[in-house]
Structures are given as structure tokens and as C-alpha cells.
Structure 1
Amino acid sequence: MIFENKEALQGQIEQLDLFHVAEIKIPKENAIEIKFFDRFKAFEQLTELMQLQTDAQEVNEFYKALELGAKSLNKDEVDE
């Protein structure tokens, strides 16, 4: 019924704002499945990834500082 004229439907779809739509399926006659993006969840995951990267960078900087301190102590012991 609603999908009898697929060319007209195609023209209507092209005019719609589908910014939040991830996927559209027509699994069987007279049915439609629409999957929406969950932008808030995507933002949360990006925030978590950024935090993990920041944490890893801070740990790396800490180990570098520790290594430089150890080298400095070792150098001081050699000089004595």
C-alpha cells in the first residue's frame, strides 16, 4: 500500500532530514524498519576513549620522569 510507487517514495526520502537515521530497511511488504543513531552514547564512548588516551599519556610521562630521575641518580653515583 504505502510502498506501491517506489519512485515516488525515493523522491520523498531524498527530501527528508535523515540526520539521526542510521539505517532504513523494508524487510517485507508494507513494513519498514528504521534504526536511529544514539548520538549521546557515541559521545560517551568518545569521551571514555579520550580519557583512556589521556590516562595512558600521563602514565607514560610519569615513567619517563621516573627513568630520567633514576638516570640522574645513577650518574651522580658514578661521578662520586
Structure 2
Amino acid sequence: MNDIVILRKTGTIATLGLAGQDPKTSAPLATVYLLKDGWYMKLTHRHDRFAWSGPFDAPEDAIERYTPADATGPLLRLAG
């Protein structure tokens, strides 16, 4: 399995991606934000309540909890 790493980090935001991924040409897998009560991870390709997880003590802790976007939340209904 590919390793998830911090691609970029500032004092309040960090982006997560695959090891060896070029952050200039590829979208991150997730972004980790520093909020009032800790760091929260938002999956890049998911836009519902299941996209968020946290709080974490540090962005590095969010890496351990990373789950691909297609494996989180309820099962999608099939049209038909």
C-alpha cells in the first residue's frame, strides 16, 4: 500500500498525499485544518458530513486515521 505523507504544512493547515506525489501537479488526498479544539481532516473528494474527522493532536495523527473517500459514510444507493 502507498504511504500517506504531509505534502505541505503551515501553522494552521497541512495537505496530505501519496509519498512521491508532486503537490504542484496533483490534488491532495485530504487537508488538515487547525481549529479551536484541534486539527481536523477533510477528505478532498468528499463533500458531506462523512468527509470530516478529528480532532487530532497534530496533522501526523490524522495520517493514521486516513480512509479513502469511497470507503467512508453510508453506502451509496444504486439508481435503477
Fold conserved (TM > 0.5)? no
TM-score (norm 1): 0.26
Larger relative helix fraction:
1
Larger radius of gyration: 1
Larger relative strand fraction:
2
TM-score (norm 2): 0.26
